[in-house]
Amino acid sequence: MLKKTIFGYIFALTLALTSCKTADTAAAPKPNIKEVVNSEGVTLVDVRIPEQYRAGTAKGAVNIPLAEIQNNIDSLKGKKVVVFCNKGIQADQAMEILKKNGVEAYDGTTWKNVKAIQDEKQSGK
């Protein structure tokens, strides 16, 4: 009988604690990547290998290959960073590393996406 009572209290407490977390766990609104890319002071980081970067990238982007992201954390801290690559896969990995290390990072997915956002702003659309 005592085990059932203790189990009941633990179950009720667990239910009460987890049901109160809905406000805390609500997803924050996703930032508008167009606004972030076009914001002042943003650092655009192309995480592809140098050969791919030289073949074409977004205007003003710096090249920090994914393999070197961890070694460049200190230079990116305190900055608003948009990362991108060819298909978004390496950018996702870079985002994970940067966010774990306290860098304000945003996913631009592909370099063509970031370049298109820049071109759209220039054309005034």
Which of the four pLDDT bands, split at 50, 70 and 90, describes residue 109? Answer: very high
Which of the four pLDDT bands, split at 50, 70 and 90, describes residue 125? Answer: low
Range 33-123 has CATH code 2.40.50.1070: no
More confident residue, 30 or 42: 42
| Integer angstrom CA distances of residue 46 from 26, 67, 73, 110, 112 | 31, 12, 14, 9, 11
Q: What is the pLDDT of residues 57-91, one digit of tens each?
A: 999 999 999 999 999 999 999 999 999 999 999 99
| Integer angstrom CA distances of residue 82 from 3, 10, 92 | 54, 45, 11
What ranges do the domains of the chain cover? Answer: 33-123
Name which of 100, 97, 108 is nearest 60 in CA terms: 108
**Measured torsion, CA atoms of residues 33, 36, 37, 43, in degrees rounded to the nearest 10:** -130
